[in-house]
Structure 1
Amino acid sequence: MFDFTGDRLVIGKFCMIASGVEFVMNGANHLSDAVSAYPFAVFGGDWAEAMAGKAYPTKGDTRVGNDVWIGYRATIMPGVTIGDGAIIGACAVVTRDVPPYTIVGGNPARVIRPRFDAATTARLLALAWWHWPVEKITRHVALLTGDVDAFLAAAESEVRAGPTYPSTP
């Protein structure tokens, strides 16, 4: 609706974004410390100078981490960062940053619970499987959709063993 403000929407890899999800960007922000929040200047003409010497507030880029699930009709407000592995509940209104591997829901969105304990979350973040080559993801795909401890054991074991390369004839 308003002029582009230069903010960006950055979405990581392997994200699931349901239908009806909305990302509100900084162009929708308005003055809140003035007498009126109405955007007079966007209509030009005699009102073109209404914002002279003023600027609409900005909250920076909106970032969605990797392996994030955003539920049906969720709304993500400007400048929010959603951490890797987070789950956003259906119809949630996300007004604040969401930590990695955390489930949030409601309006405004609140933490429902972490997906894993802090140590497991740290291990998953260190592995950053979403940056692996597709062949490595394919080797682990059954574990990625299964038990977290089994996945971590296999992935960390492979890291300790070092990279494997296909043999050449």
Structure 2
Amino acid sequence: MTLYELFEADDDRDVPADFPWLLIEIPEEQLRHAALLLNEGEWRPSHISGIWYRVDPERPAQKQQRHVHVAAKKHIKIPTKQASWNRDTTRHDRKTFNAKLGSQGSYQDVAKTALGLPPEAVLEHVVENPAEQQMLLTESTDPQLKTEFYRWLEAQPRRSNFEALVEDAVRLNLPLDLES
């Protein structure tokens, strides 16, 4: 529907027939950028029920990148119950970053969408299980990080699969049946 169709019911007898039209073309990239700027600074509901986000602008004077905070609606005023990431996928608030929430796919999905990152982007987060850390580090695209990880891995004492299973079971308080 055109503007003319929307307003044809209005009384336009005072408007000359040769009234000029004003057409403004906005490139898609600029429109996308403008839409991102409109979302800055306020908490907004995400596409996932119960999860909200706030995008904050870049502040070069404070050496802050554009970043997003993600939290459950009831926790938007509690920094320790939030996860936040910079535009370059690193954690934003390292001291208050909630590792448990930051490792959840739903929180990461909201952050990627809010920052306009591709779905395959890997957001930095803290993992408590060393086996999960190993998996994340070997999937990293940063060659320096991979090199450092493999040096660390080489320095670790070797354990048999049985020793690893027993240690994990003890750490998790699982019952052990060593007779079978």
Higher helix proportion (structure 1 or 2) = 2
- TM-score bracket relative to the smaller structure: under 0.3
**TM-score normalized by the length of structure 2:** 0.23
Higher strand proportion (structure 1 or 2) = 1
**TM-score normalized by the length of structure 1:** 0.23
Q: Greater relative contact order: 1 or 2 (C-alpha under 8 angstroms, separation 6 or more)?
A: 1
